[in-house]
Amino acid sequence: MRVLRTFFWAAVLAAGFIYITGGTRWDVGGVLRPVRNAGRMWSEPATAESAGFSTDEQNNIDIYKSARDATVFITSVVYTRSFFGVYPEKGTGTGFVISPEGEILTNNHVAGGGQQLTVTLSDKKVYKARVLGFDPRNDLALIKIDAGRKLPTIRLGDSGRLVVGQKVLAIGNPFQFEGTLTTGIVSSLDRTIETEENKLEGMIQTDAAINPGNSGGPLLDSHGSVIGINTAIYGAQGSIGIGFAMPISRAKAMLEEYQTRGKISRPWLGLVTVPVAGDLAEMLQLPASGGLLIQEVERGSPAETAGLRGPTRVVIVSNFRLGIGGDLITAGDGQPIQDKESLKRLMDKKHGGDMLELTVYRGGRSEKIRLKLGEAPQQF
């Protein structure tokens, strides 16, 4: 019985072997392949696709390649006096080369206060820089290095034709990570922001990531032209998608003045004023629409030369001393002036040597006075 059972199982195994090898295609690799691939935890394309970029990606790459070498890292050292003595404070930012001879545009808050200024190029070579001029009203500065060779540059574009939604790219050194590229769009135009130093108007708003260290760097359009200078962010810690750039048109105006006059001037009027309007103005027998009441005319100033008049006496109004009897400035170049900000906006469009027409209320009637603005000394 045991012999027959053994013979039976031997016949079954032999028949199974003949069926498998004869009736199907025997593929040892097919049996073992699942075993060989058991360790692979990812999938990948049959052929590499890294060389095939989208049109937008290729545009980003091309712009970065063309602008990276002209974007520089700026370090400034300011000596600050405290109770414990004088100590150095180090600041960093970005700039970009606009001429082969080494002229560089950046923010005034990056370069304007630095007693020691150094520029690091993309090849890691470091040069001392000097300030050629600055425009604190627009937070702009022009500096220069002597590299002893022609440097790559970035061309300046047209910020007057920007539209909300168009693509922009920012290159800079955020948190000292040199040569960082971020992309975004123009989120809005003609923004006004308050900084610690002044109010900046007509700013470009963008969602391209701008962080500390990006200040002074280029904001580029899809053609690789500079349309703005990255200047400020909303929030103290870092980018939250709201950054601001100074339109390049402001820098062009500064550069044109430097090229034609060899310097960058700020206008000087030489007045101290206080705004008055409404009931206070009527109490002082001035127009209710108000204006700027002159409190002091600086000696030797354009205002003194033009004959503008200061107060003749002082009164106490709500516990404050107020000089009265002087001229009330109501307009400048035909535009109403009701507060110090409106006069500042008017002066921001002027340069030293420009003419200014002021309308003043004097002795119960209005009259126009034309004067030539002076030049304020530049102090770092």
* CA distance readout (Å), 27 to 17, 18, 31, 32, 37: 14, 15, 7, 9, 16
Of the candidates 179, 161, 177, the one whose C-alpha atom is nearest the C-alpha of residue 169 is 179
Asked about 139 being catalytic, the answer comes back as yes
Using only C-alpha atoms, the chain has a radius of gyration, in whole angstroms, of 35
Active-site residue identified among 76, 159, 187, 215: 215
299 burial (CB, 10 Å; 0-12 / 13-18 / 19+) is exposed
3-state SS of the chain: helix, strand, coil percent to 5? 25, 40, 35
Report the distance separating Cα 77 and Cα 90, nearest Å.
Answer: 5
- Strand, coil or helix: 239: coil
Asked if residue 218 lies in contact with residue 230, where contact means CB atoms within 8 angstroms, the answer is yes
Of the candidates 321, 318, 320, 299, the one whose C-alpha atom is nearest the C-alpha of residue 308 is 299
Which residue type, as a one-letter code, is found at position 96? F
Of the candidates 208, 248, 201, the one whose C-alpha atom is nearest the C-alpha of residue 107 is 248
Secondary structure letter of residue 295 according to DSSP: E
Active-site residue identified among 76, 109, 135, 159: 109
Asked about 223 being catalytic, the answer comes back as no
Asked about 215 being catalytic, the answer comes back as yes
Report the distance separating Cα 154 and Cα 141, nearest Å.
Answer: 16
Of the candidates 285, 280, 282, 304, the one whose C-alpha atom is nearest the C-alpha of residue 294 is 304
Active-site residue identified among 135, 139, 221, 327: 139
Asked if residue 254 lies in contact with residue 134, where contact means CB atoms within 8 angstroms, the answer is no
Which residues are catalytically annotated? 109, 139, 215
